[in-house]
Amino acid sequence: MILASCEDDREDLPSFDERVSVAIADLTAELVAPSNGWRLDYQPTPDAGRFFILLDFDENGQVNIQSDLAVNDGEFFNQTIPYRIDNALGLELILETFGVFHYLFEQDQSRFGAEFEFIFNGKEDDDLIFQSKSDISGATELEFTPAAPGTAALFSREEAENLDAYAGFTTQIFGGDPPIQQVVLDDRNISVFWSVDISKRTIDVDIAGVGTTLEEIASNGDNVTINHQTGYTLLDGKLVLITPFSFSVGGEQLTFTEISLADFSMTGPPLCALNMENTPVYTGQTPGIGAVTLYKSLFDSDGLDFQPMADNRYGVNVTFVFDQDARSLAEEGSISERFPEAVEFIFHYGLDSMGLPANAVGLRLEDESDSSRTYLRELEPITTTGNKLQLTLTNDFYFSEPPEAGEQQDLVEITNEIFEGGEVYVSDLPVDGLTVFRLFNPCNRYELFLVQ
């Protein structure tokens, strides 16, 4: 009788497929319930910044996604794409076609840590809790919170587009360096330099110093290394630091928490006096500090490690000299046309060697028999301001062998092309086992890499 009773109870239970269908229907009902949709302050990884996102699901498998990601001419500001709920590792919310989450997933060669498939972990009060399906470890948790009326007014899309403008005046080879901003504390004669990774919404604070120009800050020596990393979010017209930082410089103790962004224009000072192209400039207010102005900068304290070398020189495979369109001059540019046998780009900076110029730039060439010859054009002593090198090319030359007809003029034209304007900014390129520097010319946006 007991066995028969248990068997009858099992026959009354819903099938597995029926239970899954009910669970999917229940989650769908939860997703479509809020009248104003869901708010998500999306942080793909603990080290990243946050993206402000609103999601509004309907019963027909469509979700409207609004975000503040200002790329592709605002493609992701407002999108409606299909979604579905599956049951595999549990209930899974899957966004089916390309949208803001997919775009973020692809950043940094799909190593950024974003996701577009989420495992449902349950409900906490009125919030729905999901976690990333794609994270191998330390899965991201996402908290969907019912959006309040008027939440969309918090979007800071114009501010995001304006900040993106700073990325247009920087390096591009090997992903380029994140754009650098000089944050001038207008009432205090103090500057803070930080780099902003626009795609990951992170800020790497470098140094603070007394003065409003690089020349002032480099000359007075009153500066402090901060070395602080934080994510940021854009909300209600503010750039908000997830982790604030404090520093002391010029006799003042200051704390940075956020900037209320105000007026933006493309009237900032040119990075190169030769072409006089204006740069972005943003004004704002910071609590406890006052008025600030964000300028485009090329200062990078890591570039200060590029120093004169008496017993060595800098050089690189000639392939790693690029024009403004990211084309190697050795593959489809002036070097390949004028010196097809060139194998190395050479940079002397304070070299102390009998018979060789102390400061010079040029090429090493090899013929089919591996016979090598060096052609150099001398520089006047190099002057530096921070990580900015001022280069003056002379009409003195060093040739390990007499050049062929026209080769001296070819060397003149190539070096004039690369160092047009006479200024380059130095930053470092992290490479395991090597010390590699990036030289960027703001006048023509040429880049070259030098190995110590």
Q: Compute the distance between CA of residue 248 and CA of residue 226 in angstroms, rounded to an integer.
A: 9
Q: Compute the distance between CA of residue 107 and CA of residue 112 in angstroms, rounded to an integer.
A: 6
> Residues with Cβ < 8 Å from 300, sequence gap 6 or more?
177, 180, 195, 206, 387, 425, 426, 427, 428
Q: Compute the distance between CA of residue 44 and CA of residue 202 in angstroms, rounded to an integer.
A: 12
Taking the chain, what is the end-to-end CA distance rounded to the nearest angstrom?
87
Per-residue b or e along 10-40, where b marks 16 or more CB atoms closer than 10 Å to that residue's CB: eeeeeeeeeeeeeebeebbebbeebeebbbb
Provide the whole-model pTM. 0.90
pLDDT tens by residue, 378-387: 999 999 999 9
Q: Compute the distance between CA of residue 422 and CA of residue 417 in angstroms, rounded to an integer.
A: 10
Q: Which two tokens stand for residue 121?
A: 């972990």
| Closest CA relative to residue 247, chosen from 291, 298, 205, 204 | 205
pLDDT at 10 over 80: no
Q: Compute the distance between CA of residue 40 and CA of residue 143 in angstroms, rounded to an integer.
A: 6
pLDDT at 3 over 70: no
Q: Compute the distance between CA of residue 321 and CA of residue 449 in angstroms, rounded to an integer.
A: 7
Exposed (0-12), middle (13-18) or buried (19+): which is 130, by Cβ within 10 Å? buried
Q: Compute the distance between CA of residue 232 and CA of residue 206 in angstroms, rounded to an integer.
A: 16
Q: Compute the distance between CA of residue 417 and CA of residue 198 in angstroms, rounded to an integer.
A: 31
pLDDT tens by residue, 299-322: 999 999 999 999 999 999 999 999
Average model confidence (pLDDT) for the chain? 93
Q: Compute the distance between CA of residue 293 and CA of residue 184 in angstroms, rounded to an integer.
A: 5
Please give the pLDDT value at position 19: 78
Q: Compute the distance between CA of residue 370 and CA of residue 305 in angstroms, rounded to an integer.
A: 34
pLDDT tens by residue, 276-285: 899 999 999 9
Residue 303 DSSP class: G
Long-range CB pairs of 128-131, under 8 A, 24+ apart, other chains included: 128/30, 128/31, 128/38, 130/93
Domains within the chain, CATH numbers bracketed: 16-153 (2.40.128), 159-299 (2.40.160), 304-451 (2.40.128)
pLDDT at 90 over 90: no
pLDDT tens by residue, 105-128: 998 877 788 889 999 999 999 999
Please give the pLDDT value at position 203: 98
pLDDT at 243 over 70: yes
Please give the pLDDT value at position 263: 98
Q: What are the backbone dihedrals phi and psi of residue 302, each rounded to the nearest 5 degrees, phi first?
A: -65, -25
Q: Compute the distance between CA of residue 330 and CA of residue 343 in angstroms, rounded to an integer.
A: 9
pLDDT tens by residue, 175-233: 889 999 999 999 999 999 999 999 899 999 999 999 999 889 988 889 999 999 999 99
Q: What are the backbone dihedrals phi and psi of residue 289, each rounded to the nearest 5 degrees, phi first?
A: -120, -40
8 A C-beta contact, residue 377 and residue 357: no
pLDDT at 1 over 50: no
pLDDT at 261 over 70: yes
Residue 334 DSSP class: H
CA angle 267/242/93 to nearest 5° reads 105
pLDDT tens by residue, 16-45: 667 778 889 999 999 999 999 999 999 999
pLDDT tens by residue, 34-83: 999 999 999 999 999 999 999 999 999 999 999 999 988 889 999 999 99
Q: Compute the distance between CA of residue 251 and CA of residue 406 in angstroms, rounded to an integer.
A: 59
Neighbours of 168 (CB within 10 A): 11
